[in-house]
């Protein structure tokens, strides 16, 4: 079964005015579409990997044959990252976090505002393309990190609870070069129920050793 782009769980215009409909069309259909197409093309060279989930591939990047490792890292990462991204947003989202993630954020960062500042800062300072993340590490602590390109934290043994895409394709049509403005606006579309589900999953996830080679 080839990997597929999941349909958006809402209309393309649902996240207006914070994320415009044209950006959503390009981002979901074209960019995510290309990651999935390129991932499937790479896996055709190694059909034994075709039944593995994209998460599983990224967790064990070192075991991926070298001729497709880069393609799997970039396009598998692009697929997993965006599949999460669409779900952790919704129309009329935002506001303060609720449930267990709210408690965990307060415990780790002091309060929601301090967490947001730290997260937005990680996104603003990520040089070039990449992602800002809230992750749970193997000791069970929450951390804010950023990754370049489409690297997903699961390749470092970290569980991604929430992430924001800071590639220019995510914001340039509306925000132009004003990435910090996009980062600030994005909180208005966060789906905290979904983030709580992911936090719950992170507490049950198996602990994985870092799968990236130490370089
Ligand atoms: Mn993207």
Q: Is residue 10 part of a domain?
A: no
Percent of the chain at pLDDT above 70? Answer: 95
The CA 24 to ligand 1 mean position distance, Å, reads 10
What is the tens place of the pLDDT at every residue in 81-140? 999 999 999 999 999 999 999 999 999 999 999 999 999 999 999 999 999 999 999 999
Find out whether 69 and 213 touch, Cβ atoms under 8 Å. Answer: no
The CA 82 to ligand 1 mean position distance, Å, reads 6
The CA 41 to ligand 1 mean position distance, Å, reads 20
Q: How many domains does the chain have?
A: 1
The CA 10 to ligand 1 mean position distance, Å, reads 17
Q: What is the CATH number of the domain that holds 197?
A: 3.55.40.20
C-alpha distances (whole Å) from 44 to each of 50, 67, 81, 143, 151 are 8, 12, 22, 36, 22
The CA 107 to ligand 1 mean position distance, Å, reads 30
Using pLDDT thresholds of 50, 70 and 90, give the confidence band for residue 214: very low
The CA 115 to ligand 1 mean position distance, Å, reads 23
Query: Alpha-carbon distance 164 to 154, whole Å?
Result: 15
The answer, as to whether pTM is greater than 0.85, is yes
Q: Is residue 3 part of a domain?
A: no
Query: Alpha-carbon distance 85 to 93, whole Å?
Result: 13
Query: Alpha-carbon distance 73 to 144, whole Å?
Result: 21
Domain that holds residue 161: 19-215
Residues with CB under 5 Å of ion ligand 1 are 165, 167, 170
Q: Is residue 91 part of a domain?
A: yes
Strand pairing class (130-136; 159-165): antiparallel
Percent of the chain at pLDDT above 90? Answer: 94
Q: Is residue 4 part of a domain?
A: no
For range 72-77, the mean pLDDT: 98
Give the residue from 81, 74, 59 showing the smallest Cα distance to 165. 81
Q: Is residue 57 part of a domain?
A: yes
Q: Is residue 2 part of a domain?
A: no
What is the tens place of the pLDDT at every residue in 7-48? 999 999 999 999 999 999 999 999 999 999 999 999 999 999
Q: Is residue 178 part of a domain?
A: yes
């Amino acid at each position: 079964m080839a990997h597929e782009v999941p349909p958006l769980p809402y209309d393309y215009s649902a996240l207006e005015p914070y994320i415009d409909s044209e950006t959503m069309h390009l981002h979901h259909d074209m960019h995510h579409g290309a990651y999935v197409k390129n991932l499937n093309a790479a896996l055709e060279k190694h059909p034994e990997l075709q039944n593995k989930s994209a998460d599983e591939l990224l967790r064990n990047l070192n075991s991926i044959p070298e001729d497709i490792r880069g393609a799997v890292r970039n396009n598998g990462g692009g697929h997993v990252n965006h599949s999460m991204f669409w779900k952790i947003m919704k129309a009329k989202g935002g506001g303060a976090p609720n449930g267990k993630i709210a408690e965990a954020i307060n415990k780790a960062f002091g309060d929601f505002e301090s967490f947001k500042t730290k997260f937005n800062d990680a996104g603003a300072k990520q040089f070039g393309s990449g992602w800002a993340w809230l992750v749970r590490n193997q000791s069970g602590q929450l951390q804010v990190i950023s990754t370049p390109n489409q690297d997903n934290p699961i390749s470092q043994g970290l569980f991604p609870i929430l992430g924001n895409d800071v590639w220019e394709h995510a914001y340039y049509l509306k925000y132009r070069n004003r990435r910090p403005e996009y980062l600030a606006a994005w909180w208005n579309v966060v789906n905290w129920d979904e983030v709580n589900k992911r936090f719950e999953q992170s507490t049950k996830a198996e602990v994985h050793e870092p799968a990236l080679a130490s370089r």
